[in-house]
Structure 1
């Protein structure tokens, strides 16, 4: 795969931030087990990674705007382009030494995601996508979404929020309805990795609610470029703003949506 100049910039930023996270990840097991200590450590790791991504992208494209999980919005003078960044998607996994987390970056042009990178530094899996150019892993293999057609054969993935959040009771009702209809349900703890693995055919479908734009933006393009369908729970086209994701190949997307729609 030959990367474009803009994708090279994004990959470089993600890998550099990933190296920082890998160093911090190696120290997690040595932390004192207390709520304040580990949480503070992870926050600093997150902020370091975000600063690296910001500095690299700002240097390469100084006129572009930013939307970041930690740093919020930074205006640009370009008027058309904006970086959407999650420097550590999978914070709880990181804190517990579970190697499922990622640096996730998307480029929005005129309100459309046109390029994205999801990088897991521990597994050394680099997922990239560009509008019209497909989805790739480690620049070597072009990805296609899985071909299973029936929910009974499908392994699906979701996110389960902590108790007391706005979506927890809804998700429990969804789980109760979908669990008997599928071959299995998984919960990885990183929506970016979920959508990348959906594009790679490891998962057959994904659904989740309560998501932020930086959770959705990088994976949204990867699913589309791998031949998948992505929408909200009402079936409207996938957006980084509506906080909901239902994704899979055309058949499984429709079947999963049919299960979800009646659940309020």
Structure 2
């Protein structure tokens, strides 16, 4: 890609994009060698929220590679944050106003990695004063690297990505994910699923938000929604979709920002229709109470 010095200065002969690609690729290659060979497995917040020494090692690798070139930049990685939504929100607030902030999920889809299910990825984003300007998602199992730079398009295998042309929900393949935390998030997600399934061609749930978002950008999915995500799950994927002609909002339809936790990402054509279905499910509230879920976007 042609470098744009306005948002991508060259430091030590390395551009932001080059460093992100190199970091994601090296970490992804190392992660793949550890598939089926991790030695420690710990539960963070729930049985569905896992971490291994490979997650931590990959994050350390990525951090070191980035900081070698950009030592003055800030860094927000999943494994450096205590589990739970409150801790995640607090960690983001601490670095939200940084001039340059790298946002990293070393393995998005750790549960898949643990079980040998080949749907996980490395996600790296760079935000400038809160605005995402670079996103890289690398899938080591398929050796696919998705990249977007603000204003310069999104690419996979060197080819420009475009979102799907599907015009209505009934012709769409969509995806979702299930929150690992307890409370009201899972019941809301299940109500949404029940509402969406009859209105679409089919639904997938493969366990990696970042890859699902990349698939929306590539036109392989028409939409993705999930409750209770974090900035490191979404930041790179958001820009991939934005630069591929799609649309990303919270569940109220407000534009995406780093603090969004409940996301709706689509090809743009079906966005309002999907939002309406999801909002109708939310308005039903908790079973037996009539109280709507407060999602705190």
- Measured in 2, the distance between the counterparts of 1:119 and 1:145 equals 18
Gaps of 5+ in 2: 9-14, 44-49, 82-90, 283-297
The Cα shift of 1:170 comes to 0.2
SS in 2 for 1:260: helix
Corresponding residue of 1:34: none
The Cα shift of 1:39 comes to 3.7
SS in 1 for 2:127: strand
Q: Is the 8 A contact 1:178 1:259 kept in 2?
A: yes
Corresponding residue of 1:68: 77
The Cα shift of 1:162 comes to 4.3
Query: Could you say if the C-alpha distance between residues 154 and 62 of structure 1 is closer, same or farther in structure 2, counting changes exceeding 3 Å?
Result: same
Corresponding residue of 1:195: 213
Gaps of 5+ in 1: 32-36
- Measured in 2, the distance between the counterparts of 1:231 and 1:79 equals 23
Corresponding residue of 2:293: none
Deviations 1:157-203 (A, max 9, x none): 00023483441100111011111000000001000000001000100
The answer as to 2:91 corresponding to 1:81 is no
TM-score (norm 2): 0.81
- The count of residues paired between Structure 1 and Structure 2 equals 255
- Measured in 1, the distance between the counterparts of 2:208 and 2:56 equals 18
The Cα shift of 1:255 comes to 0.8
Of 16, 20, 45, 1:6 maps to: 16
- Cα RMSD (Å): 2.1
The Cα shift of 1:113 comes to 0.2
Q: Is the 8 A contact 1:20 1:48 kept in 2?
A: no
Corresponding residue of 2:56: 47
- Measured in 2, the distance between the counterparts of 1:246 and 1:47 equals 29
Query: Could you say if the C-alpha distance between residues 19 and 42 of structure 1 is closer, same or farther in structure 2, counting changes exceeding 3 Å?
Result: farther
Q: Is the 8 A contact 1:228 1:248 kept in 2?
A: yes
The farther-off stretch of 64-73 and 112-121 is 64-73
Q: Is the 8 A contact 2:98 2:128 kept in 1?
A: no
- Measured in 1, the distance between the counterparts of 2:128 and 2:149 equals 12
The answer as to 2:127 corresponding to 1:94 is no
Corresponding residue of 2:156: 137
Q: How does 1:186-225 map to 2 (within 5 A)?
A: 186-225=204-243
TM-score (norm 1): 0.91
